[in-house]
């Protein structure tokens, strides 16, 4: 997993609530056997007409948001299906950070497994950032997300602090491999199995 | 004396293999259900890192999402991408040594239908799958939840997950459901009350007489849709009904171990005085048949209601999303829901693809014809459900009424196989999600119970099932 330290880039505003993972990555793209190449499918139905042409009114079809690295969205972002194809698509598009008032649990976890930072902020704070991001259409300029300092800086220099679980932060800052870390505890897993087998033998019958 | 614990607390405590003391735990997984869509990248990850599975006896592989439901599926699968994914599941299972149930096997079906059917789903287990509807298995008092593909890989490699504990949410429903009102209506009403994010960060325990009265099938329907309220898992304490359902199932404990297991399973309930972080309480007698009108499962109302007017909504975000939903759904505020005409009816899915669901549909359809403009698909959740339904002659009732009787799979619940809606088509569906495009791009989904689906098929519009019973 790629390390996340400081991310600088354009933030795209998507002020919708309950954006589900079907919306982020529709079913027809779940047939891939790879993790890459899904960027073109992100938000597919909102992004393209039936004939494949871009819908000009959609934010990711507009400059400078085509190159956005940060997505700012409404509450309960990523609800529904557990499909990791949603964060894979966001990552492939270029997003490394999503900011919203709340996230669905599975999506949130999936993002961190792929080096995408999810930042939860109160609605009022998100609304301010959304307004700044919308100005990006005319003024340009980059946001900066500093995971070490736990800050978001808008193009005009306004700093917002955010909170994040220490372990998630540590793993992301260092790009750690979860499985490798867990395998260091293999003796504990085996000890658990021995104990469970003695107490609940039917689980090992 | 130890502090009283919830059922979730007990399940959690009994599966922590390691804790760092700061809330980060390695949780041991007793059963891993795998299917073709969310596993190719996980197995590929193992290969790339030169890793093996930690063990293979707690994993089962079965194709369900992509499989066609037409009888010719054993000869050829036309969609090359689907075919490749299905072939990869089989070859990965073979290469890594995972027990595999092929499409030709009568036990094939939707993962969440076959786990309970084969007795793999058991009280007290931790159960995961790369599918959010894994919550289904909570009906047995198992801690069951959906995971992404990275976590699928993690479980394959270590038989554990890195987790932090969720909070406890108790949903208490008192009393008994009125006639014609089912587990599906109950969970839709609960989602309407909680909202799609009401359970986020929580594990739900369902308590109250109404849940004890439900069959195991209906309990699974309720737990299945817990994810639609944002909670990762839903739980019900196991009881004699649970044990009776499980007894004799192929993978259920045998002989002396059965007695030992049941004695343990009986301890799986929340202690008196156990603390819940959040609680809601409802009265079953107030619940009527429900149907969704929008594009989120929380957009739900009694069938007796009218399409809501977004302008009446006080929350600005809700107003915006309701307007968007109604535009997508092609509905006009103030229209009685019973006047909404449907084009398709889908009966099936991990929510309502069990034998009891098919019996409910047959009871309404028997001796009747579906409306001439309606197309109806009945898709059993598994080969065993299909076999049972045919033994009971239900298939003949469906076909005589004008419905199509298909082979088992996820089918039109998410339309990864050829069973999809065309743009603008409206479907009365027993599935679990009414998201935009879920059943096909531009398709319009109304979630409801199997009986309500059958009623809509007969009249050609959303209908209060109590009128045709």
| Confidence at residue A140, expressed as pLDDT on a 0 to 100 scale | 63
Answer positive or negative: Cα dihedral of B178, B182, B188, B190. positive
Residue B132's contacts (CB-CB under 8 Å, 6 or more residues apart) are: A80, A81, A82, A106, B146, B227
For residue A79, the 8-state DSSP code is B
Answer positive or negative: Cα dihedral of B217, B221, B224, B226. negative
Residue B76's contacts (CB-CB under 8 Å, 6 or more residues apart) are: none
| Confidence at residue B396, expressed as pLDDT on a 0 to 100 scale | 98
Of A83, A109, A189, the CB nearest to B38: A83
Q: Which of B148, B123, B151 is nearest to B137 (CA)?
A: B123
Tens-digit pLDDT profile for residues B98-122: 999 999 999 999 999 999 999 999 9
> Chain B partners of A35 at a C-beta cutoff of 8 Å?
41, 149
Tokens encoding B423: 């743009």
CA dist A175 and B254 (Å) reads 46
| Confidence at residue B1, expressed as pLDDT on a 0 to 100 scale | 66
Mean pLDDT, all residues of chain A: 95
Whether residues A83 and B148 touch (CB distance < 8 A) is answered with yes
Q: For a pLDDT cut of 70, what percent of chain B falls above it? A: 100
Whether residues A81 and B433 touch (CB distance < 8 A) is answered with yes
Whether residues A185 and B26 touch (CB distance < 8 A) is answered with yes
Mean pLDDT, all residues of chain B: 97
The C-alpha of B124 sits at a distance from chain A's nearest C-alpha, in angstroms, of 10
Does residue B316 have a pLDDT over 70? yes
Give which of A88, A187, A202, A204 to mutate to test B binding, by max B Cβ within 10 Å.
Answer: A202
| Confidence at residue A135, expressed as pLDDT on a 0 to 100 scale | 86
pTM of the predicted protein model: 0.97
> Chain B partners of A31 at a C-beta cutoff of 8 Å?
37, 66, 79, 81-82, 84-85, 416
List beta partners, residue A118.
A98
Whether residues A31 and B66 touch (CB distance < 8 A) is answered with yes
Per-residue pLDDT band for A77 (boundaries 50, 70, 90) equals very high
Does residue A138 have a pLDDT over 70? no
Whether residues B162 and A182 touch (CB distance < 8 A) is answered with yes
Does residue B236 have a pLDDT over 70? yes
- Residues B170 and B234 sit within 8 Å (Cβ to Cβ): no
| Confidence at residue A7, expressed as pLDDT on a 0 to 100 scale | 97
Does residue A136 have a pLDDT over 90? no
Q: Number of residue pairs across A and B with CB atoms under 8 Å?
A: 183
CA dist A2 and A176 (Å) reads 8
First-to-final CA distance of chain A? 38
Does residue A137 have a pLDDT over 70? no
Per-residue pLDDT band for B325 (boundaries 50, 70, 90) equals very high
Tens-digit pLDDT profile for residues B140-184: 999 999 999 999 999 999 999 999 999 999 999 999 999 999 999
ipTM: 0.96
What average pLDDT does the segment B418-434 reach?
Answer: 97
Q: Please give the residue of chain A at the shortest CA–CA distance from B296.
A: A18
Whether residues B416 and A30 touch (CB distance < 8 A) is answered with yes
Interface of A with B in 111-170 (CB under 8 A): 113-114, 165-167
Beta-strand pair B167-174/B202-207: parallel
| Confidence at residue A177, expressed as pLDDT on a 0 to 100 scale | 87
Tokens encoding A133: 């991001």
Per-residue pLDDT band for B408 (boundaries 50, 70, 90) equals very high
Of B18, B130, B200, the CB nearest to A104: B200
C-alpha of B102 from chain center: 22
């Amino acid at each position: 997993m790629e390390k996340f330290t400081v991310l600088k880039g354009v933030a795209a505003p998507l002020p919708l609530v309950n954006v589900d993972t079907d919306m982020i990555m529709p079913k027809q793209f779940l047939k891939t056997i790879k993790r890459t190449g899904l960027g073109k499918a992100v938000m597919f139905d909102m992004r393209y007409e039936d004939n494949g042409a871009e819908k000009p009114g959609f934010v990711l079809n507009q400059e400078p948001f085509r190159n956005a690295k940060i997505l700012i969205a409404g509450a309960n972002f990523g609800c529904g299906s557990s499909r990791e194809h949603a964060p894979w698509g966001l990552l492939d598009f270029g997003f490394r950070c999503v900011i919203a008032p709340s996230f669905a649990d599975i999506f949130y976890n999936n993002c961190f497994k792929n080096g995408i930072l999810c930042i939860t902020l109160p609605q009022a704070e998100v609304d301010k950032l959304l307004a700044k991001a919308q100005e990006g259409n005319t003024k340009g300029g980059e946001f900066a997300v500093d995971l070490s300092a736990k800050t978001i800086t808008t193009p005009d220099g306004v700093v917002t602090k955010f909170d994040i679980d220490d372990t998630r932060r540590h793993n992301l800052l260092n790009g750690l491999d979860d499985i490798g870390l867990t395998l260091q505890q293999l003796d504990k897993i085996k000890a658990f199995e021995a104990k469970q087998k003695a107490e609940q033998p039917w689980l090992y019958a | 004396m130890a502090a009283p614990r919830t059922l979730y607390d007990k399940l959690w405590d009994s599966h922590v293999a390691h804790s760092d003391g700061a809330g980060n735990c390695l949780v041991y997984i007793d059963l891993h259900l795998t299917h073709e869509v969310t596993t190719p990248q996980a197995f590929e990850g193992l290969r790339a890192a030169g890793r093996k599975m930690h063990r293979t006896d707690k994993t089962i592989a079965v194709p369900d999402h992509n499989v066609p439901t037409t009888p010719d599926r054993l000869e050829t699968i036309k969609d090359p991408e689907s075919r490749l994914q299905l072939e990869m599941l089989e070859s990965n299972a073979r290469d890594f040594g995972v027990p595999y149930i092929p499409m030709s096997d009568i036990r094939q079906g939707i993962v969440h239908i076959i786990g309970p059917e084969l007795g793999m789903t058991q009280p007290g287990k931790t159960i995961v799958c790369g599918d959010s509807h894994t919550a289904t298995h909570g009906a047995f008092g198992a801690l069951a939840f959906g995971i992404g593909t990275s976590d699928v890989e993690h479980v394959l490699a270590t038989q554990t997950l890195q987790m932090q504990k969720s909070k406890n949410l108790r949903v208490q429903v008192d009393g008994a459901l009125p006639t014609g009102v089912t587990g599906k209506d109950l969970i839709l009403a609960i989602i309407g009350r909680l909202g799609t994010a009401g359970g986020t960060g929580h594990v739900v325990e369902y308590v109250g007489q109404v849940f004890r009265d439900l069959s195991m099938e209906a309990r699974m329907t309720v737990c299945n849709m817990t994810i639609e309220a944002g909670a990762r898992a839903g739980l019900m304490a196991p009881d004699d009904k649970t044990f009776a359902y499980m007894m004799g199932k192929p993978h259920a404990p045998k002989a002396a171990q059965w007695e030992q297991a049941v004695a343990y399973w009986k301890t799986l309930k929340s202690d008196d005085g156990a603390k819940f972080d959040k609680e809601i309480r409802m009265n079953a007698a107030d619940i009527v048949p429900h149907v969704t009108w929008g594009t989120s499962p929380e957009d739900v109302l009694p069938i007796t209601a009218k399409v809501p007017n977004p302008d009446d909504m006080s929350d600005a975000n809700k107003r915006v999303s309701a307007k968007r939903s109604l535009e997508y759904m092609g509905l006009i505020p103030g229209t009685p829901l019973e006047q909404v005409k449907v084009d398709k009816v889908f009966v099936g899915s991990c929510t309502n693809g069990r034998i009891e669901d098919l019996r409910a549909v047959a009871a309404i359809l028997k001796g009747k014809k579906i409306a001439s403009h309606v197309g109806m698909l009945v898709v059993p959740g598994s080969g065993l459900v299909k076999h049972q339904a045919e033994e009971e002659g239900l298939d003949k009732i469906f076909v005589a009424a004008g419905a199509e009787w298909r082979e088992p799979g996820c089918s039109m619940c998410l339309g990864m196989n050829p069973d999809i809606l065309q743009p603008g088509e409206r479907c009365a569906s027993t599935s679990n999600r009414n998201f935009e495009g879920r059943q096909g791009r531009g398709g319009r989904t109304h979630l409801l119970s199997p009986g309500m689906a059958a009623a809509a098929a007969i009249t050609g519009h959303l209908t209060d099932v109590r009128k045709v019973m």
